[in-house]
Structure 1
Amino acid sequence: MGMADMGAFREAVAAWAAGGPDEDARELAERLDVRTAVLLEGPSDVAAVDALAALRGRDLAAEGVCVVAMGGAMNVGRHARLLGPSGLGLRLTGLCDARERPFYARGWAGAGAAEQHYFVCVADLEDELVRALGVPRVEEVVRAEGDLRPLRTFQSQPAQQGRDAGGQLRRFLGTKKGRKIRYGRLLVEALEPGRVPAPLDALLADL
């Protein structure tokens, strides 16, 4: 099974979660032998998980693991019901921000998942990555991407003056469409092997 097949399953799940029919998702789950659904808030989290899996020589699609961007933590209940014990019967896991933990807890309970199995970032995954790398290393990655000048312009704005450098970097990553996704991958690829943030490391070990 390739990434294209798992991509088709992800698209079928998104359509089903949006109120569409369930036939395609059910058929693909069976044909592809999907066993685990990793529920993530958005595509930048998916980019980070996929990047770490690649660095560790893992082919999650071939292992029957589907990494799902839900379009926000508020959607976790619906996705958990569709994919978990009450729906397709997949094993559920995921990664969430500390403030989103109640959504995940309710989602897992509503889906009939016996284990509250997901991993929690202190603020969010970007915060975990910035702290793991340190501000100077993150700025090296930003410079290599040609984004240092936009970063300095952003940091000079009055609204950023009360934030520390790590907080400014996190905000900067979310200021332009697609930037957060790109840096989700780049920051993971910049990590030293022993410096992977604990929630991300634990998630990969759990798969």
Structure 2
Amino acid sequence: MTRPMTGDDDAVAGFERAVAAWVARRESRGTTASALLPPLPAAVSGAVLVEGASDRAALQAAAALLGIDPAVTGVAILPMGGAMSVRWFVGALAPSGVRLHGLCDEGEAGFFRRAGLGHEEVSVCRPDLEGELLRALGTERVEAVLARQGDLGLFRTFQRQPAQRGREVTAQLHRFFGTTSGRKELYGRLLTSELAAQELPAPLRDALTAALPA
């Protein structure tokens, strides 16, 4: 049974939704992060800064596997609409004393470091979230998830495309997840949920536990 939200839980979740909507509006207008973030509720004591919605979906699924409810502990998971926004998010949130932790792809780690987050404050997926999940599950288990979603036939068609022939199945899957809007987010959640708690990639586990209160 889902536990009812308390006032603090609802404040954290509301802040997450407000930030996600703010980022979406900014992206639709093609503007940079220049306006003020939505007001920070007192209930938010920590935040995990992630690049996008797929990272947030994976972290939420990972939290469920670990029996953690981030909102209960005051932790918000905030997709920023890309790694280049991290400096602005850190600048906006750090003065409030909120504990900050980042989760990012290997190629984007430099943005998080230059934003002022220390080595222990950034969890790095190598090479990225999809790579971590594919490595943890293996191709057979990933294809089983695709089959349950009705996407395995689409993937088989994708594999027959000239650009995909001869490539490793892992590389094909990695590319497939990025071919349709929303697919990364969907499979970020589904593939993470397919894991046992002890199989979670270290970056996901570390990002959650590092942001929790001591």
TM-score computed with the length of structure 2 as normaliser: 0.84
Deviations 1:119-148 (A, max 9, x none): 111110111000100000000000010000
Q: Shift in Å at residue 185 of structure 1? A: 0.8
Equivalent of residue 40 in structure 1, options 50, 65, 68 = 50
Q: What are the equivalent positions in structure 2 for 1:1-207 lying under 5 Å apart?
A: 1=7, 4-13=10-19, 15=22, 18-21=33-36, 24-26=38-40, 28=41, 30=42, 33-84=43-94, 87-108=95-116, 116-206=120-210, 207=212
Deviations 1:66-96 (A, max 9, x none): 1000001111111111112xx3221110211
Q: Shift in Å at residue 37 of structure 1? A: 1.0
Deviations 1:164-189 (A, max 9, x none): 11111111111111111111111011
Structure scoring higher RCO (CA < 8 A, sep ≥ 6) equals: 2
Residues 21 and 41 of structure 1: is their aligned pair in 2 closer, same or farther, counting only changes over 3 Å? closer
Q: Shift in Å at residue 11 of structure 1? A: 4.5
1:94 counterpart SS class: strand
- Which amino acid is the alignment partner of residue 165 of structure 1? V
Deviations 1:4-62 (A, max 9, x none): 5324313444649843345x413x2x2xx211110000000000000111122211111
Q: CA RMSD in A?
A: 2.1
Given that 2:13 and 2:71 are in contact with CA atoms closer than 8 Å, whether structure 1 keeps it comes out as no
* Structure 1: unaligned runs, 5 residues or longer: none
Residues 114 and 195 of structure 1: is their aligned pair in 2 closer, same or farther, counting only changes over 3 Å? closer
- Which amino acid is the alignment partner of residue 64 of structure 1? G
Percent sequence identity over matched residues?
A: 46
Distance in 2, matches of 1:188 and 1:36, equals: 22
Given that 1:96 and 1:124 are in contact with CA atoms closer than 8 Å, whether structure 2 keeps it comes out as yes
Distance in 2, matches of 1:194 and 1:57, equals: 12
TM-score computed with the length of structure 1 as normaliser: 0.86
Deviates more, 1:114-123 or 1:164-173: 114-123
Given that 1:120 and 1:199 are in contact with CA atoms closer than 8 Å, whether structure 2 keeps it comes out as yes
2:158 counterpart SS class: helix
Distance in 2, matches of 1:183 and 1:77, equals: 28
Q: Shift in Å at residue 115 of structure 1? A: 6.5
